[in-house]
Amino acid sequence: MTIAALGGQGGGVVTDWLVLAARKAGYFVQATSVPGVAQRTGATIYYLEFFARADAGEGREPVMALMPNPGDVDIVVASEWMEAGRAINRGLVTPERTTLIASTHRDYTIGEKMALGEGRASSRELFEIATAHAAKLIGFDMVKVADASGGRISAVILGSIAGANVLPWGIEEYHHAIKQSGLGVEASLASFEAGRQASIDAKAKPLTAAAWPSDHGSIDPSDYTLEAVPTRLRARIVDQFPASMRDLLGMGAARLSDYQDDAYTATFLDRIEEILGVDAAKLSDPRLTVSTARALALWMSFEDVMRVAQLKTRSGRIERIRREVRANPGDLVNVREFVKPRVEEICGTLPAGLGVRLMASAAARRMLARCTAGRRISTSTVSGFLLLRCISALRRFRRGTLRFKVENERIEAWLGQIKSIAPRDYDLAVELAECQTLVKGYGDTHERGWSSFSQISELALKLVGDPQSAARLRILREAALSDDNGVQLTRAIAQLAA
């Protein structure tokens, strides 16, 4: 048996329980583990081998392996859906012999989170691969079952193994193992039973591709809705824009009111109204206005130091962290923020004139570089929390900062380009609006995205009138999103020139 468990999920606890259960049932058992790496780039792999004492003969013990060998594993348990994919990729899951028990929830990997574009792996594709590679597939959301039962996922994992009926002993041995551990016995037994029943149900009703829609779903707009927009601005959205756009504009307006103020939101609507005026489709299918509105709302809420501090001190964020670590009402949770501003971020928060002078001065940059060393700020302390709240409060002066001046000029240039191209090449203008997805984040990520965006927007003007202009610009955008070092974009530009 191979178990792949993420940090904090109790893979070691499950292994210890299985060892106790196996010994109780009269089996030789050996367990080994290979630690994974931090920050959700891999799971810890636990490997167990079982051998019946009755089959060994008097005075004899089996020689057991220390690591799983591809093609020789009977049972693979994955505590997260992508870890099932990793096990398949390693050759541990084979159609001739392997039962795959997996949790269908996702904890996104660092690679998926860092992707410039849509980096999430397809759960549906993984299901199709798992179905083809496993002799038997048993899958359900173990995190959901653990939350509902009020216990830990480790007990649910053990219950899923018991419910799958893949080991040669009964429920009594599993109960014995949990009781022998002596910690949280009642809660663990409850979660074990919930996991066992969920596994039995999953066997009776196997997974299908319908469990995963073909797309990744949509944004949950619970925080930013049309109802959250101030009355005057909400009335403007309803009166002046097509009904099909109201929810989108409501989300954008609510986001910008939260980001800055109502006047800033009014500027957003002014800009979108101008785009609607040049949108050839208008009421029938205003693709250009929709794409521009979505992109503009994101760009106008660019992440500067004040925005990051605002997000990190939201009450909702603290509540979410407590839920994620499953803290009880009386538990203390210490949250540390890792802060490492660059000279550009420091100057960007200053008044525009002062920021420009400091950026131009080598001596000033050297002096400011002393403030760029990484720091840890605990938002669980009064001093740390108040520090970030004070930084967040500086957003009332945002319009006068260097960063705002730079971003506002870039936005105006982009909108001007869209309005110039739209009457001559509508589809190209839509693609140019979509290119805003390249400009995101802050620090080095933002600079790389802006570099790619600048190259593509410059080429967009040269593509006007080309019958394949929109398709070619889309190829450049997708190339820029495919890596963060610009290699694919450079290659795509060279191919376009050729």
Residues 6+ apart with CB under 8 A from 114: 484
What is residue 42's predicted lDDT score, i.e. its pLDDT?
A: 63
| Other CB atoms within 10 A of residue 97 CB | 14
Residues 6+ apart with CB under 8 A from 420: none
Q: How confident is the model at residue 217 (pLDDT cuts 50, 70, 90)?
A: very low
**Quick one: how far is CA 77 from the chain centroid?**
23
Q: Would you say residue 61 has pLDDT above 90? A: no
Mean pLDDT of all residues belonging to the chain = 88
- Look up the pTM and report it: 0.74
What residue ranges in 287-378 does DSSP mark as E strands?
336-339, 375-378
Average pLDDT over residues 197-206: 92
Lowest mean pLDDT among 60-64, 112-116, 435-439, 477-481: 112-116
For residues 191-206, one letter each, b for 16 or more C-beta atoms within 10 angstroms of the residue's C-beta and e for the rest, the string is: bbbbbbbbbbebbeee
Angle at 289 between CA 285 and CA 293, to 5 degrees: 135
pLDDT tens digits, 430-489? 999 999 988 887 777 888 888 999 999 999 988 988 899 999 999 999 888 887 777 888
Considering only residues 157 and 370, tell me which one the structure prediction assigns the higher pLDDT.
157
Average pLDDT over residues 237-265: 92
What is residue 404's predicted lDDT score, i.e. its pLDDT?
A: 95
**CATH number, span 2-211:** 3.40.920.10
Q: How confident is the model at residue 218 (pLDDT cuts 50, 70, 90)?
A: very low
Q: Would you say residue 340 has pLDDT above 80? A: yes
Boundaries of every domain in the chain: 2-211, 224-301, 305-400, 412-498
What is residue 40's predicted lDDT score, i.e. its pLDDT?
A: 52
**Quick one: how far is CA 259 from the chain centroid?**
22
